């Protein structure tokens, strides 16, 4: 089911990271199993020594999946902006997943630096995908500087804890009904991804949960099925939760014994 970012349709709500896989072959097979709409790539992988970066980039190009470069590991506005410009030259795209990390233990975004970096990059023609929190005020400011997509975290990067603040994520979806929203970071198992789609999110971004699984290829396939199930469930209009039991078998017409 297609998702649209900055006017470009992608074929799946599953976005897949390309870091930490045991081998290039497993990465390739995982991408083929996941059938993602987008893959994310880091400039650091491309710039590795002994032409390893060029080999990685060649592998990604052969997969023929839209690429979203990221500024992973950047801690200042200057570092993030410089990395984004370098990535645009290397990967030939104006898309950039913008990360400005503010806290080392949780890798929580520096939302003040994030808004400033997003402003600078948007003014320079970038289409920015900001890695942010579920804070509605920060979201408003990111949209005001030109972002057309928001990527709130589910939980700290690589934690596998899933959706820590379902209330906040649901509020963000309700507050910005027309904005593409992607749950990014913290998703650990396919059920977390399905839950995000059921909440109405447009996509999820997965990396560690697939790359560090015992069997990355089968885990990639599981996530593909999970996002399909989550999206179908949302479209099917799930029943509302109730505080009291409601019998599934009608009482009317039930035999009564004297």
Contact, 100 vs 120, CB < 8 A?
no
* pLDDT score for 103: 86
Annotated binding-site positions for 1-deoxy-D-xylulose 5-phosphate: 158, 185-186, 207-208
Annotated binding-site positions: 158, 185-186, 207-208
* pLDDT score for 252: 65
Q: Inform me whether the pLDDT recorded for 50 exceeds 70.
A: no
Domains detected in the chain:
11-235 (3.20.20.70)
Mean pLDDT of the chain: 91
d(CA 31, CA 229): 19
Convert the pLDDT of each residue in 9-35 to its tens digit: 999 999 999 999 999 999 999 999 999
User: Of 44, 96, 108, 100, which Cα lies nearest the Cα of 76?
Assistant: 100
* pLDDT score for 257: 66
- What's the whole-model pTM score? 0.89
Convert the pLDDT of each residue in 108-155 to its tens digit: 999 999 999 999 999 999 999 999 999 999 999 999 999 999 999 999
Among residues 62, 97, 141, 161, which one is catalytic? 97
* pLDDT score for 45: 47
Distant-in-sequence, close-in-space partners of 34: CB < 8 Å, separation ≥ 6? 14, 16, 210, 220, 221, 223, 224
Q: Is 64 a catalytic residue?
A: no
Rounded mean pLDDT of 43-51?
54
d(CA 199, CA 201): 6
pLDDT grade for 44, boundaries at 50, 70 and 90: low
Q: What angle do CA 216, 218, 219 make, to 5 degrees?
A: 60
Q: Inform me whether the pLDDT recorded for 43 exceeds 50.
A: yes
Distant-in-sequence, close-in-space partners of 132: CB < 8 Å, separation ≥ 6? 109, 111, 114, 138, 139, 142, 150, 151, 152, 153
1-5, 57-61, 227-231, 236-240: least confident range: 1-5
Rg (CA), the chain: 20
d(CA 237, CA 66): 30
Convert the pLDDT of each residue in 75-96 to its tens digit: 999 999 999 999 999 889 999 9
pLDDT grade for 253, boundaries at 50, 70 and 90: low
How far, CA to CA in Å, does 226 sit from each of 191, 217, 244?
A: 7, 14, 29
């Amino acid at each position: 089911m297609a998702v649209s970012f900055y006017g470009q349709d992608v074929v799946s709500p599953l976005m897949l990271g390309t870091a930490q896989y045991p081998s290039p072959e497993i990465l390739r097979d995982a991408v083929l199993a996941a059938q993602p709409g987008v893959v994310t790539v880091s400039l650091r992988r491309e710039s590795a020594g002994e032409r390893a970066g060029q080999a990685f980039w060649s592998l990604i190009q052969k997969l023929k999946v839209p690429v979203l470069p990221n500024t992973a590991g950047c801690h200042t506005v200057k570092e993030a902006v410089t990395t984004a410009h370098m990535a645009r030259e290397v990967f030939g795209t104006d898309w950039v997943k913008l990360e400005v990390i503010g806290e080392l233990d949780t890798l929580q975004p520096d939302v003040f630096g994030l808004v400033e970096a997003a402003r600078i990059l948007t003014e320079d023609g970038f289409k920015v995908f900001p890695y942010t929190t579920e804070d509605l005020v920060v979201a408003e400011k990111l949209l005001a500087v030109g972002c057309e997509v928001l990527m709130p975290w589910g939980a700290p990067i690589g934690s596998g804890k899933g959706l820590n603040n379902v209330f906040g994520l649901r509020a963000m979806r309700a507050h910005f009904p027309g904005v593409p929203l992607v749950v990014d970071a913290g998703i650990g198992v396919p059920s977390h991804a399905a839950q995000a789609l059921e909440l109405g999110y447009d996509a999820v971004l997965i990396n560690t949960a697939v790359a560090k699984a015992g069997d990355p290829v089968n885990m990639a396939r599981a996530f593909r099925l999970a996002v399909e199930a989550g999206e179908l469930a949302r479209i099917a209009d799930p029943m509302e939760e109730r505080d009291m039991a409601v019998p599934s078998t009608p009482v009317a017409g039930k035999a009564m014994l004297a």
